[in-house]
Chain A
Amino acid sequence: MPRLFVKVFLGFWATVIVVGIALVLSFVFTPNGSYLPWQDARSTAREVIREMDRHGPAAAARVLSRLERSQGLEACLYDDQGTPIAGNHCGTFSDGPMRGNMIPDRPNSSGMYRNMMRLPSANGKVYVLETQLPWGPRQIHHTVFEFALHWLVVLLVSSAICYLLTLRLTRPILRLGEASRQISEGNLQARVPPAVEARRDEFGDLARDFNTMAERIEDLLSSHRQLISDVSHELRSPLTRIQLAVDLVRKRGGDDPALSRVQADVERLEHLIARLLTVARVEAGAAAAKWERFDVNGLLAEIAADAQLEARQRECTVVFSEAGACIVMGDEHLLRSALENVVRNAVYYTSPGTEILITLTPGAAAAGGMMVLEVSDHGPGVPESELLSIFRPFYRVGNARDQQSGGAGLGLAIASRVVQLHRGTIVASNRPGGGLQVTIRLPLAQ
């Protein structure tokens, strides 16, 4: 259950319960006198005894009858020996005055209990009036069971009310959170549901603003992507035609070395366009990355097999030491292009006939571990002062990366962006025996 919901709910509930306890306590500790039926019973008793003193039992019986008519209360007057004197219901009060001026244990079936008052009259005689009183708050905690039942009802009712209140308050926030999480995970179509948008309060405002913002982001990204796609189309169409034209000229016997240069430049341009597009896609991809769990070990096995094909032309071998499954949370497509770039870079710069080593070590996943990937070549390496710069776009190391190398200096820049996007690190170092080692650390999926 969401934490906010729990907090607000408990807050509401605690308040209701505390207020409830305070109310009940104030009742329980109220002095007897303030409870009206008791007052009435006492004054009724005095009246009955006064009538008895002045006019005899018949007058007392009239008062009792009036009481019964007006309030529906039954009563009986006894003398101090327990002999009934007046009242219509003395028979039902059979246990009578023997029990003294006591509050009885239980109410009868109509919710009344009996009360006995022993009072002296003005002329010194003592009478006992037994009467009914409504069941009052003094009897609230009568048995443990009733006490528990009572509180259970209070808890249930108050929790239901608090639940509904809390739901009404926190639901829009949760919906908003859900939408923004989906957008950050790459689902740009995610919106706050119309139910929240339709609210006429600050939540409604927030939801509408959020949706407007999400729409703008989606528009911007899709027009950005459209632009990339258009540019690539517009640039590549003429390149295709140039290649065809050059080929036609060649085919017709024009074997000028200049043609080879045109050909090489066309290829270089295409290479550059492809890399630039990848950079643009990585940038846009950061916002639209599709996050899912996948196995880096399997991905690397594929990349290594591909790199082996490429390496064979230079009589090199790619050695991949596997590590078993290495599950990472990320965008497989982006990570593939990142790791591919690092491995191809190594294949490119290693000396002919040497090995490229790819080593994968999984960390302990439980401790929020990182997997460590090392890609080493046996090439010229990179001057120590330039180890950081090689991750910058278009950076070229003075000694090794001349025009002949064909690379546009974007491969490692792409890799670095993608690794950062996955909250990992990428570091280059020179191996003791010569050659460059690129170390990539990526957090393992929980």
Chain B
Amino acid sequence: MNAESTVERILIIDDDTALCELLIERLQDDEFVTEAVHDGVRGLERARSGEHGLVVLDLMLPGLNGIEVLRQLRHTSDVPVLILTARDEDVERILGLEIGADDYLAKPFNPRELIARIRAILRRSLRASGEERPLKAGDLQLNPSTREAFLGQKPLPLTSVEFSLLETLLHEAGRTVSREHLTETVLGRELRPFDRVIDVHVSNLRRKLGNERIKTVRGTGYLLVARPAPR
């Protein structure tokens, strides 16, 4: 994928056409090229095209709902996804994050906040080629250049957020990393009160790593336990 040509293109999947028009206009001011699609099936098709650097996905869609779009999209693509929801159901947001969304924003949102989050996500996916040296801790190995992770000999299928999260935890292996720090480095934004996005990502990562490798330091943050590589 050629990052340079796709990074500024944003796909909005939302059935509120008036909102989409306003968003296109607003994002234009910040030099994003935006395309809007109003139903799930078309949205999934466009999101799979690989032409966009980021997808803004509303969870309440006619036809195919947002969760389903995201689930199917993740089979073939790891394009960053920011989900929007007007409903008050935490379950839905958490489900979205678990399936592989990068972040979420509740409607109504402040447009500046949306743009800040879009930029943060794009920054992280660009940072991909920053460091070359592989990171190791026990039987865990990360290749930041290729964004591949290995547990023992087996490759770990990680989403982009999970990779960044594991990278940050590995840098500080054996030490507690605060939730604030994790949110800032991984999600590229400040931790808000009652903000659980980072915790959902940690619990996804924990499930993939297994074996209680990530410990919760209650009220503070998380800690990666380094284990010796098995002989």
**Of residues A244, A245, A310, which shows the largest number of chain B Cβ atoms within 10 Å of its Cβ?**
A244
A240 x B86 contact (CB < 8 A)? yes
Q: For B6, what are the chain A residues with a Cβ–Cβ distance below 8 Å?
A: none
Query: Which of B18, B90, B107, B192 touches A309 (beta carbons < 8 Å)?
Result: B192
Nearest-CB distance from A275 to chain B (Å)?
10
A305 vs B176: C-alpha distance when bound (angstroms): 15
Task: Flag whether A89 is at the interface (Cβ < 8 A).
Answer: no
A241 x B219 contact (CB < 8 A)? no
Nearest-CB distance from A84 to chain B (Å)?
97
Q: For B22, what are the chain A residues with a Cβ–Cβ distance below 8 Å?
A: 241, 244-245, 248
Give the segment of B108-116, B155-163, B223-231 that binds chain A. Answer: B108-116
A247 vs B111: C-alpha distance when bound (angstroms): 7
- 24 A-B contacts (beta carbon < 8 Å): A228-B88, A229-B89, A233-B87, A236-B108, A237-B16, A237-B19, A237-B86, A239-B107, A240-B109, A241-B22, A243-B108, A243-B109, A248-B29, A251-B29, A274-B88, A301-B218, A305-B219, A306-B193, A307-B193, A309-B192, A309-B193, A310-B193, A320-B219, A340-B194
Within 8 A of B (CB), among A285-300: 298
A interface residues with partner B (beta carbon < 8 Å): 228-229, 232-233, 236-237, 239-245, 247-248, 251, 266, 270, 274, 277-278, 281, 298, 301-302, 304-307, 309-310, 320, 333, 340, 344
B219 x A304 contact (CB < 8 A)? yes
Nearest-CB distance from B229 to chain A (Å)?
33
Within 8 A of A (CB), among B62-88: 86-88
Q: For B109, what are the chain A residues with a Cβ–Cβ distance below 8 Å?
A: 240, 243
Q: Total A-B residue pairs with C-beta atoms closer than 8 Å?
A: 78
Known A232-B87, A236-B86; judge A247-B107 contact (CB<8 A): no
Known A247-B111, A247-B112, A248-B25; judge A232-B19 contact (CB<8 A): no
Q: For B191, what are the chain A residues with a Cβ–Cβ distance below 8 Å?
A: 309
Query: Which of B23, B87, B107, B180 touches A229 (beta carbons < 8 Å)?
Result: B87
Query: Which of A233, A301, A307, A340 touches B86 (beta carbons < 8 Å)?
Result: A233
Q: For B86, what are the chain A residues with a Cβ–Cβ distance below 8 Å?
A: 232-233, 236-237, 240
B107 x A237 contact (CB < 8 A)? yes
Q: Smallest CB-CB separation from B114: which chain A residue?
A: A244
Nearest-CB distance from A384 to chain B (Å)?
31
Known A237-B19, A244-B26, A245-B22; judge A302-B90 contact (CB<8 A): no
A301 vs B110: C-alpha distance when bound (angstroms): 30
A243 x B110 contact (CB < 8 A)? yes
B interface residues with partner A (beta carbon < 8 Å): 16, 18-19, 22-23, 25-26, 29, 60, 86-90, 107-112, 179-180, 191-195, 218-220
Known A241-B18, A247-B111, A302-B219; judge A232-B88 contact (CB<8 A): yes
Interface on chain B toward A: helix, strand, loop, or mixed SS? loop
Nearest-CB distance from A231 to chain B (Å)?
10
Nearest-CB distance from A280 to chain B (Å)?
9
Query: Which of A233, A241, A278, A301 touches B19 (beta carbons < 8 Å)?
Result: A241
Q: For A344, what are the chain B residues with a Cβ–Cβ distance below 8 Å?
A: 193
A421 vs B112: C-alpha distance when bound (angstroms): 40
Those 8 A-B pairs whose CB atoms lie nearest each other, nearest first: A301-B219, A239-B108, A240-B108, A305-B219, A236-B86, A244-B22, A310-B193, A247-B111
A80 vs B194: C-alpha distance when bound (angstroms): 114
Q: For A248, what are the chain B residues with a Cβ–Cβ distance below 8 Å?
A: 22, 25-26, 29
Nearest-CB distance from B9 to chain A (Å)?
20
B88 x A240 contact (CB < 8 A)? no
A233 vs B110: C-alpha distance when bound (angstroms): 17
Q: Smallest CB-CB separation from A304: which chain B residue?
A: B219
A306 vs B16: C-alpha distance when bound (angstroms): 33
A278 vs B90: C-alpha distance when bound (angstroms): 12
Q: For B219, what are the chain A residues with a Cβ–Cβ distance below 8 Å?
A: 301-302, 304-305, 320
Q: For A239, what are the chain B residues with a Cβ–Cβ distance below 8 Å?
A: 107-108
A298 x B19 contact (CB < 8 A)? no
A298 x B218 contact (CB < 8 A)? yes
Q: For B108, what are the chain A residues with a Cβ–Cβ distance below 8 Å?
A: 236, 239-240, 242-243, 266, 270
Q: For A307, what are the chain B residues with a Cβ–Cβ distance below 8 Å?
A: 193
Nearest-CB distance from B66 to chain A (Å)?
12
B60 x A233 contact (CB < 8 A)? yes
**Beyond A229-B87, A305-B179: 4 further Cβ-contacts under 8 Å?**
A236-B108, A243-B111, A251-B29, A281-B88
A298 vs B199: C-alpha distance when bound (angstroms): 15
Q: Smallest CB-CB separation from A307: which chain B residue?
A: B193
B19 x A247 contact (CB < 8 A)? no
A236 vs B109: C-alpha distance when bound (angstroms): 9
Nearest-CB distance from A421 to chain B (Å)?
18
